[in-house]
């Protein structure tokens, strides 16, 4: 029924055309919130109008001809087939238009490229399938994953309309101060990704093994959203970017609190089974679900199943060691705090939705750095 209604609305939209409820749609490029993004917007509009003008002239001539010079109106065909003057004119005029367009374009390009004299640097690493931000020289370093609500909705089929900022929200946004020139350095850990926030006016590829640079200076405090724009595998569509621009004092407060939280030691006190499972589920949804899937079935040929896996359901110590060490195919999860690791191990061994039922609990204290050679 819902489908039919939507289909109906869609057909209506298609017939009524562009006027309908313009407020809900963006038809044009966004202007953005930086000087460069505004320059780019102006260039975009300039070329757009040039194209519209040429289009009207050419198509106008064509349609005039199609109406007047038709056989059914008794028009007799002329027999001309060349005219050197006309041909030279319509070669030279486009050339002049192109040169006129190239001049402002060159200016903006040079401006975009100038990463000199920045106030701060942030290293951005693209990974399958999240972003890793490192505020160089401050010690602040965190991962930014798709938020839990969107993650859940796109996996279990719940209605995306109920999720705020569906697929455009993250757990840890990138926070930047307004009015400062921020230099970004981009790289990737596995495959090529591309970092794009339309409001900043540009995107830049993150290439594994290489460094790319770009810069921005946000003039207006606010929240700006974007996405990965280079196909990077299964969950390419599910690694958004959120940038929050704050006034300098707010930014400094955020930086200090983030640093403090980051340096906090893991709480190693025992947790109830319920606490372990809840926390474990959250850790699983952030770190594991992309490959091993929401039902633990993995993806045949790509990622092994956790459901019924001997490794998951076997001895504790080898499993802890395996997660800490990683393999050539699976990254190391030594980055997880001991209480997170304990919770997620408890979860994968006991979650009914993953089909495992070992019946034990692993407490944070049980996590010791044991490495397994496997």
C-alpha–C-alpha distance, residues 151 and 285, integer Å = 7
**Residue 47 phi, psi dihedral angles, 5° rounding:** -65, -35
Q: According to CB under 8 A, which one of 56, 231, 256, 334 is a site residue for other proteins?
A: 231
Helix (H) / strand (E) element for 9: namely helix 2-16
Rg value, the chain, Cα:
28
Q: According to CB under 8 A, which one of 130, 135, 184, 238 is a site residue for other proteins?
A: 238
Q: Is 198 in the site for other proteins (CB under 8 A)?
A: yes
Rank residues 238 and 284 by Cβ distance to other proteins and give the closer one: 238
Q: Is 221 in the site for other proteins (CB under 8 A)?
A: no
Rank residues 56 and 256 by Cβ distance to other proteins and give the closer one: 56
Q: Is 106 in the site for other proteins (CB under 8 A)?
A: yes
Q: Is 219 in the site for other proteins (CB under 8 A)?
A: no
C-beta of residue 121 within 8 angstroms of C-beta of residue 182: yes
Count Cβ neighbours within 10 Å for each residue of 277-307 and write b for 16 or more, e otherwise.
bebbbbbbbbbbbbbbbbbbbbeeeebbbbb
Q: Is 335 in the site for other proteins (CB under 8 A)?
A: no
Residues 146 to 165 in contact with other proteins, rule: CB under 8 A = 153-155, 157, 159-161, 165
C-alpha–C-alpha distance, residues 276 and 258, integer Å = 24
CB of 79 to other proteins, least distance (A): 7
C-alpha–C-alpha distance, residues 277 and 347, integer Å = 5
Q: Is 35 in the site for other proteins (CB under 8 A)?
A: no
C-alpha–C-alpha distance, residues 240 and 224, integer Å = 11
* Sequence-ordered list of residues with C-beta below 8 angstroms from that of 91, at least 6 positions apart, any chain: none
Residues 108 to 137 in contact with other proteins, rule: CB under 8 A = 108-110, 112-113
Residues 276 to 315 in contact with other proteins, rule: CB under 8 A = 299-302
Q: According to CB under 8 A, which one of 28, 223, 332, 368 is a site residue for other proteins?
A: 28
Going residue by residue from 63 to 102, which x/- string records binding to other proteins, judged by CB under 8 A? --xx--xxxx--xxxxxxxxx--xx--xx--xx--x--xx
CB of 285 to other proteins, least distance (A): 16
Q: Is 256 in the site for other proteins (CB under 8 A)?
A: no
Rank residues 191 and 266 by Cβ distance to other proteins and give the closer one: 191
Among the listed residues 185, 169, 183, the one whose alpha carbon sits nearest the alpha carbon of residue 225 = 169
């Amino acid at each position: 029924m819902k489908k039919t209604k939507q289909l109906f609305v869609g057909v209506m939209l298609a017939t009524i055309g562009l006027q309908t409820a313009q407020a809900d749609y963006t038809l044009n490029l966004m202007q953005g919130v930086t000087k460069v993004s505004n320059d780019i917007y102006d260039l975009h509009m300039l070329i757009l109008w040039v194209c519209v003008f040429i289009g009207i002239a050419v198509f106008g001539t064509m349609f005039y001809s199609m109406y007047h010079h038709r056989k059914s109106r008794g028009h007799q065909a002329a027999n001309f087939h060349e005219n050197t003057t006309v041909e030279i004119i319509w070669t030279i005029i486009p050339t002049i238009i192109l040169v006129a367009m190239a001049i402002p374009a060159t200016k903006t390009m040079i401006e975009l490229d100038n990463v000199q004299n920045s106030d701060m640097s942030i290293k951005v690493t693209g990974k399958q399938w999240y972003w890793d931000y490192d505020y160089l020289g401050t010690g602040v370093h965190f991962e930014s994953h798709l938020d839990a609500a969107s993650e859940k909705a796109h996996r279990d089929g719940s209605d995306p309309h109920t999720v705020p900022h569906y697929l455009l929200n993250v757990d840890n946004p990138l926070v930047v101060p307004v009015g400062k020139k921020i230099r970004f350095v981009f790289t990737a850990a596995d495959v090529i990704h591309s970092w794009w926030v339309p409001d900043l006016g540009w995107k830049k590829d993150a290439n594994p093994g290489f460094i790319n640079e770009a810069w921005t200076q946000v003039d207006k405090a606010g929240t700006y959203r974007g996405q990965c724009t280079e196909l990077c595998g299964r969950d390419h569509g599910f690694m958004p970017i959120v940038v929050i621009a704050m006034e300098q004092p707010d930014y400094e407060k955020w930086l200090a609190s983030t640093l403090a939280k980051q340096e906090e030691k893991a709480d190693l006190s025992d947790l109830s089974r319920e606490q372990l499972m809840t926390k474990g589920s959250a850790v699983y949804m952030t770190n594991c679900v992309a490959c091993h899937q929401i039902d633990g079935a993995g993806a045949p040929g790509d990622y092994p199943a956790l459901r019924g896996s001997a490794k998951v359901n076997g001895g504790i110590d080898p499993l802890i060691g395996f997660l800490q060490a990683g393999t050539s195919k699976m990254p190391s999860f030594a980055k997880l705090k001991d209480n997170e690791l304990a919770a997620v191990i408890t979860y994968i061994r006991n979650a009914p939705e993953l089909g495992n039922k070992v019946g034990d609990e692993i407490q944070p204290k049980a996590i010791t750095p044991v490495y397994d050679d496997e």
